[in-house]
Each structure stands twice: as structure tokens, then as C-alpha cells.
Amino acid sequence: MYIRFHFVLGILPSIVSALGVSVPAMAGAPTPAPIALPSTVPSPAVTSTPTMRHILVLNEGNEAIFNLRIGQPGGNGSEVWSDDLLSFDRVIDVSEAQELDIALDPSTCRYDVEAVYRDGHIVMRHGIDVCHVQRITFTH
């Protein structure tokens, strides 16, 4: 315990001086070399506010849709997918539809949409223009 406490006391003055705060020297504490901090800190990426898109998803397949995800095409298989849009307590039964409000990047219109059926079959719809399409139909 003494070693940990002594280490904290030993490094505390260098942290405080790196932050530009002046404090009286601690009695008996060694003075380590100052910590070098970067001169500039990169700012976080600027992101735009998501836009809500209202989309009706219709299931014209033979099985219920258990999972539904949306993703931006990445070109070489590097798509970024959403979480399941139906959540754990919703499914889209055969010949049924589900209205979804999805928060999406306002500068992007084309998305891929993936439906996973009860039997595990996956159906992909590529390049759906969610800026102009309000209904997506899946068949299986």
C-alpha cells in the first residue's frame, strides 16, 4: 500500500505542473521529469444531426422477419450496420407490415437493408434510396 501511495504522491506534482496549476511542493516527494503533452489535441469528428426517415417494411415472404438492419454500403464488404431495428420483442409476420422511424445521416440516401427470416434465411436489398422510398417489400 505504501508503494502505491508513494507512487501517486511522486507523480502528482508532474501532473499538476503539466496542467499549469501551481501548488506548494510536497515535503519529501521526489520531483519527476515533467510530462510531455501534445501541443494540439485533435478535435472530435464533426457529425451532422441524424434525420428521421419514416419507412414501411412489408413482408411478402413465407416466414416471419425476425431481424432487420440497415447499413451504408462500404464498397468492399466493409458496411457499417445498425442494430436490429425490430428489437427483441417485434417481428414482421407473413403478409404484415411494420412502420419504422429510423435516424439516418441526412447527407446519405442509399442504404442496404437486410432482413433475417425465422428460418435463418437472409434477404438483402441493395442501394435503397431512403430519401425517396417510403416502402420496402421483402419476399422469401
Residue-range domains of the chain with CATH: 1-40 (no CATH), 51-138 (2.60.40)
Enumerate the H helices of the chain as residue ranges.
Answer: 2-18
**Residue labelled with grid coordinates 464488404:** 77
Q: pLDDT: is 29 or 50 the higher one? A: 50
Measured between alpha carbons, how far is 10 from 8 in angstroms, rounded to an integer? 5
User: pTM surpassing 0.85?
Assistant: no
pLDDT at position 55, please?
95
- The edge-to-edge listing of strands for the beta sheet with 110-117 is 80-81, 65-72, 110-117, 122-129
Q: pLDDT: is 72 or 11 the higher one? A: 72
Q: pLDDT: is 133 or 2 the higher one? A: 133
Helix (H) or strand (E) holding 52: strand 51-59
pLDDT > 70 fraction of the chain, expressed in percent and rounded:
62
Average pLDDT over the chain, rounded to whole? 76
